[in-house]
C-alpha cells in the first residue's frame, strides 16, 4: 500500500494560541491509518507548542518545518538548523517557490538544505515548480507545485501532475510525488485517486481546521 501524505503548510500564519486550537480540533478528529501521514508545518515559533499539544493529545499528526538552514550549527544569525529542529520535526518543506522568489533561494542552497535535513534524520520535501526544477538525488519526496496554482484558486489538473510524476518515477522509481496548489476538499479526490501521486501539500485550505479535516477524510479510502 502506498503512503498518502497530507501536509499543511501554514506559511506565515497563526499565533501559538490559534495553532494549539487547530491541533486540538484536527487531532481529535483524525483516524489513525498506517499508510496515512498527516503533517502540520507551522511557523518556527509555533513548532514547540504544536509538538507538545500533539504528544499530550496522542494525536496522529507529525510536525514539519517550512524551511531550515543550509548550514550546521554555528555563527549564522537568524537561522534555524536541522539539529535544533530535529527536536520537534520529522519533515521539512524545502525550496518552496515563495522562498525562491522572495528570499533568493537557489538550487544550490536547496541541495545544501536537503543534505542538512538528511544528516539529521529529517525527511526533505522538495518543491518543484515544473519538470525542469533540479531535484537533489538523495531526495525521495517532492511536491509538484506549479506557480500559477499557488494561492490563486486555480489548481492544476490531476493529469498534468500525473504526467510530471510519471517522468520523475521513470528516473527514480522510489520517489514519492505530491501535488500542491489551490487544493480544497472539493478537488482533493481527483489527485488522491491517481496511482502515481502520493498526497497533497496544502496552503490556504489548511488554515481552516474544518476544511483540513474534510481533506483528510477524502484521503481515508486511499
Interface with ligand PGA (CB under 6 A): 9, 145, 150-151, 180-183, 201-205
Q: What is the rounded CA–CA span in Å between residue 118 and residue 6? A: 21
CB of 83 to ligand PGA, least distance (A): 25
Q: Determine how β-strand 123-128 pairs with β-strand 36-41.
A: unpaired
Would you say 83 or 190 has its CB closer to ligand PGA?
190
* Beta carbon of residue 181, minimum distance to ligand PGA (angstroms, whole number): 5
Angle at which helices 16-27 and 209-219 cross, to 10°: 40
Residue among 51 and 204 whose Cβ is closer to ligand PGA: 204
Residue 95 CB, nearest approach to ligand PGA (Å): 11
CA distance 200 to 135: 18
- The smaller minimum CB distance to ligand PGA, of residues 95 and 180, is found at 180
- Asked if residue 151 lies in contact with residue 167, where contact means CB atoms within 8 angstroms, the answer is no
Catalytic residue among 98, 105, 145, 176: 145
Reply yes or no on whether 176 is catalytic: no
145 is catalytic: yes
Look up residue 160 and give its three cell numbers.
498534468
- Under 8 Å between Cβ of 23 and 40: yes
Report the residue closest to ligand PGA, judged by CB: 203
List active site positions: 96, 145
Amino acid at each position: 500500500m502506498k503512503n498518502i501524505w497530507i501536509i499543511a503548510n501554514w506559511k506565515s500564519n497563526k499565533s501559538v494560541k490559534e495553532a494549539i486550537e487547530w491541533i486540538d480540533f484536527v487531532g481529535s478528529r483524525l483516524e489513525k491509518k498506517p499508510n496515512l501521514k498527516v503533517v502540520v508545518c507551522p511557523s518556527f515559533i509555533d513548532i514547540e507548542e504544536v509538538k507538545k499539544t500533539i504528544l499530550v493529545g496522542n494525536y496522529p499528526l507529525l510536525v514539519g518545518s517550512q524551511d531550515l538552514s543550509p548550514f550546521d550549527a554555528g555563527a549564522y544569525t537568524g537561522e534555524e538548523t536541522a539539529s535544533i529542529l530535529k527536536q520537534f520535526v520529522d519533515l521539512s518543506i524545502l525550496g518552496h517557490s515563495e522562498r525562491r522568489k522572495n528570499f533568493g533561494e537557489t538550487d544550490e542552497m536547496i541541495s545544501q538544505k536537503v543534505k542538512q535535513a538528511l544528516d539529521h534524520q529529517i525527511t526533505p520535501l522538495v518543491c518543484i515548480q515544473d519538470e525542469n526544477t533540479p531535484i537533489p538525488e538523495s531526495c525521495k519526496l517532492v511536491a509538484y507545485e506549479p506557480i500559477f496554482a499557488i494561492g490563486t484558486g486555480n489548481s492544476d489538473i490531476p493529469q498534468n501532475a500525473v504526467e510530471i510524476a510519471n517522468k520523475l518515477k521513470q528516473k527514480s522509481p522510489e520517489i514519492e510525488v505530491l501535488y500542491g496548489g489551490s487544493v480544497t476538499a472539493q478537488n482533493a479526490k481527483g489527485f488522491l485517486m491517481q496511482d502515481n501521486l502520493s498526497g497533497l501539500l496544502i496552503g490556504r485550505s489548511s488554515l481552516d481546521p474544518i476544511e483540513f479535516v474534510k481533506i483528510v477524510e477524502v484521503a481515508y479510502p486511499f
